[in-house]
Amino acid sequence: MDNLKLPWWLAGTAFALAATFLVRDAYIASVVNLIAIAALTAASLRFVMLMGELNFATAAFVGIGAYATGAAITILNWPFLAALLLGGVVACLVSIVFGYITLRTKGPYFLLIGFAFTEAVRILYSKSSALGGTSGMIGIFPPAALDAWMPTFIMAVSALLIFGLYVLERSDFGKILTAIRDNENVARTVGLDILLCKIACFAAASFAAGIAGSLHAFANNVISPGDFSFLVAAFALAYVKVGGEDNVVGPVVGSVLLVILGSYALGLGGQEHIFYGGAIVLAVLALPHGVTGLAKRGFAALSGRGR
Amino acid sequence: MQTTIQLILTSLQIGAVYILFSLGLTLIFGVMRIVNFAHGHLFAVSALVVAYTVPWLASGGIPVLPAYLLSVLAGVSVAMALGFLMYIFGFRGFRRDMVGSFILSIGLVLLLDGILLKTFGGAVRPVPEILPGTVTILGAAVTVQRFALCVAAVVITGVLYLALTRTKLGKALRAVSIDHEAAMMQGIPYNRMALAGFMIASALAALAGALIAPVTIVSPVIGADYLIKGFIAVIVGGLGSVPGAILGGLFVAAIETFGAFYFDPSSASIGIFLLVIVVLLVRPKGLLGHG
């Protein structure tokens, strides 16, 4: 638990929140919301990457969170905060069951099963008439008093959860995850219950993904099955790879960069897919440690500590 | 009984394409230990080229069957050229790097999706009928085209199976997929084998695309659906296993056909997912997987 770099976190969060106070334009507010939600989703994806697995079911858990919140608000008339929390809790519970079965597998099997899960869950939404079928759910509004402060609120929740994941990563639990990634059999020989640790990691990440989904539902007011295809996870992966997966700031930097550039490209009538695809391919081929890795090397070279 | 036979024949037709697809995926995984999501786009490119060149050649006065064969040649060449580019500029650097190669392939998927939509447009392309008529097998009717597709798929699978078990190249590929270091110590050039495996897989996807073009509606996103089913087939059968890919392809096709007939297509898709969960619970490496 040493050195959590709290001053940096406080400064960064304060800066992000202060920036949202200045936003009064509806379009910019929506981009800010997108960035905050994207950063949270990417942080969730990266958290499972800590134990060496690529979790494409992230997209499914974002969707489950959004739909749980949507159902709580429009069908059950739950209060705002309870509905928000429900998204995370439901995603977390589903992920425990799903993880219990699938985390016995590794690598390509886990990746592909997450992919199939995302598609299966999406078919379930579109089949369920209570959840609005293929057209989705409408009218998921935050309380009127909070309406003007949505970007600030979303940013704050997102920052809090990313910080939470960071604390977990720096704790002893995070070290266990690294041990599992490096060699899970060695970790098992010292008496660790590997499956339990993997499920815990998966559940924590899915809670964050579920909350990201809830925030998405509140930010957009409308959700439909098409919003939660595997592309959600693919885009999150783009944020992680472009930003750099070696540290927690990477996904945030990647989200800010790609969402802003992507919105700009959309405004120019550009193709979103070509843009994101090109970004991933370039990042993987040219920047193996992402933008933050490049910046780190740059600083190291400048201060004469680099190679 | 008549219905059952008809359904079995339908699953064999769909299964034939899934098998060509999953054989490619399993081959690439075996030799390079990578998961290539862009595999579906090789299939789509080949199908699109066929869908565009057949009407074009036919309007130039060439009879439909030679026109089709020419366009199959064109489609397979274009798709294989694309596969070659993907390997040389991308996957060559990511051999045996599952996460890295997967991320690269997702990037390629998005990029190619955009490019295909831009060049070919979102509209679906019908291909004129190549072989008219129907045949009757055990009282069930099948169009000649679909029957020819099945025969071609069986022949291709058979040739591949023989090549993998009998020829020097096939034996080398299998050796590499079992243990690439031991294979290299026997003097098998791993780099060349990786390229060979990737190109054979590309050719399989391209052939599948060219074969399916006349019996389906071709659009730039045609690859995605087959890709998901192909991957599920290899998970069920076991990644890296050739018989597993064949078994898995037939399994998935049978559930899809029977489920869609007795319930509805989306229940069938969920049924396929449940099947994967059950298989993974019992055998985490798939039915015939070892590695």
**A129: closest CA of chain B, how far (Å):** 14
Helix (H, G, I), strand (E, B) or coil at B264: coil
Check if the beta carbon of residue B83 is closer than 8 Å to that of residue B202. Answer: yes
Q: Which residues of A touch B277 (CB under 8 A)?
A: 101-102, 113
Look at phi and psi of residue B179 and say left if phi exceeds 0, alpha if psi is from -120 to 50, else beta: beta
The segments of chain B whose pLDDT lies below 70 read 290-291
A203: exposed, middle or buried (Cβ count in 10 Å: 0-12, 13-18, 19+): buried
Backbone angles phi, psi at B95, to 5 degrees: -60, 135
**Cβ separation B276–A101 shorter than 8 A:** no
Per the DSSP assignment, residues forming a β-bridge with B134 are B143
What band does A172 get if pLDDT is binned at 50, 70 and 90?
A: very high
Check if the beta carbon of residue A121 is closer than 8 Å to that of residue A227. Answer: no
**Amino acid making up residue B26:** T
**A285: closest CA of chain B, how far (Å):** 7
B107 in contact with chain A, both atoms CB, cutoff 8 A: yes
Check if the beta carbon of residue B128 is closer than 8 Å to that of residue B54. Answer: yes
Look up residue B270 and give its two tokens.
């969920």
Q: Which residue of B has its CA nearest to A118?
A: B273
* Separation CA B190–CA B178 (nearest Å): 12
pLDDT-wise least confident of A131-140, A232-241, A266-275, B126-135:
A266-275
Check if the beta carbon of residue B130 is closer than 8 Å to that of residue B64. Answer: yes
Q: Which residues of B touch A271 (CB under 8 A)?
A: 114, 117-118
The number of angstroms, rounded, from the C-alpha of A8 to the middle of its chain's C-alpha atoms is 21
Check if the beta carbon of residue A47 is closer than 8 Å to that of residue A208. Answer: yes
DSSP assignments along A59-91, one per residue: HHHHHHHHHHHHHHHHTS---HHHHHHHHHHHH
- The pLDDT value recorded for residue A136 is 87
Residue position matching structure tokens 């990737």 = B198
* Separation CA A245–CA A298 (nearest Å): 17
Q: Which of B89, B273, B284 sits opposite A116 (nearest CB)?
A: B273
Q: Which residues of B touch A272 (CB under 8 A)?
A: 114
Architecture of domain B2-282: Orthogonal Bundle (1.10)
Q: Which residues of A touch B239 (CB under 8 A)?
A: 108-109
- The pLDDT value recorded for residue A304 is 66
B278 in contact with chain A, both atoms CB, cutoff 8 A: no
Distances from the Cα of B217 to the Cα of B50, B53, B123, B124, B231, angstroms: 12, 15, 10, 6, 22
Residue B248: name the closest of B228, B221, B223, B225 by CA.
Answer: B228
Q: Which residues of B touch A120 (CB under 8 A)?
A: 269-270, 273
- The pLDDT value recorded for residue A252 is 92
* Separation CA B149–CA B215 (nearest Å): 9
Residue A2 has pLDDT above 70, yes or no: no
* Separation CA A106–CA A159 (nearest Å): 30
Distances from the Cα of B27 to the Cα of B20, B46, B131, angstroms: 11, 19, 32
Backbone angles phi, psi at A276, to 5 degrees: -65, -40
Average pLDDT over residues A183-200: 92
For residue B258, how many other CB atoms are within 10 A of its CB? Answer: 17
- The pLDDT value recorded for residue B252 is 92
Domain that holds residue A44: 6-228
End-to-end CA distance of chain B: 40
**B6: closest CA of chain A, how far (Å):** 27
**Residue A260 domain flag:** no
Check if the beta carbon of residue B271 is closer than 8 Å to that of residue A127. Answer: no
* Separation CA B58–CA B69 (nearest Å): 12
Mean model confidence pLDDT for chain A: 88
**Amino acid making up residue A265:** A
Backbone angles phi, psi at B218, to 5 degrees: -95, 130
Helix (H, G, I), strand (E, B) or coil at B163: helix
pLDDT-wise least confident of A48-57, A129-138, A142-151, A263-272:
A263-272
B115 in contact with chain A, both atoms CB, cutoff 8 A: yes
Look up residue A18 and give its two tokens.
């202060």
Q: How wide is the angle at C-alpha B240 spanned by C-alphas B236 and B243, nearest 5°? A: 65
Q: Which are the contacts of A96, defined by CB distance < 8 A and separation ≥ 6? A: A199, A202, A203
Check if the beta carbon of residue A243 is closer than 8 Å to that of residue A294. Answer: no
Q: Which are the contacts of A31, defined by CB distance < 8 A and separation ≥ 6? A: A259, A260, A263
**Residue A288 domain flag:** no
**Residue A299 domain flag:** no
Question: What's the number of CA atoms in the CB half-sphere (13 Å) around residue A196?
Answer: 6
Check if the beta carbon of residue B77 is closer than 8 Å to that of residue B203. Answer: no
Helix or strand run (H / E) with residue B230 = helix B222-237
Residue A215: name the closest of A26, A73, A95 by CA.
Answer: A73
Q: Where along chain B do its domains lie?
A: 2-282
Check if the beta carbon of residue B113 is closer than 8 Å to that of residue B221. Answer: yes
Per the DSSP assignment, residues forming a β-bridge with B140 are B137
pLDDT tens per residue across span B81-122: 999 999 999 999 888 888 788 889 988 998 998 899 888 887
pTM equals 0.88
Return the CA Rg of chain A: 19
* Domains identified in chain A, total number: 1
A175 in contact with chain B, both atoms CB, cutoff 8 A: no
Q: How wide is the angle at C-alpha B9 spanned by C-alphas B128 and B257, nearest 5°? A: 90
- A276 or A181: which leads in pLDDT: A181
pLDDT-wise least confident of A41-50, A263-272, B262-271:
A263-272
Residue A42: name the closest of A196, A202, A237, A218 by CA.
Answer: A237
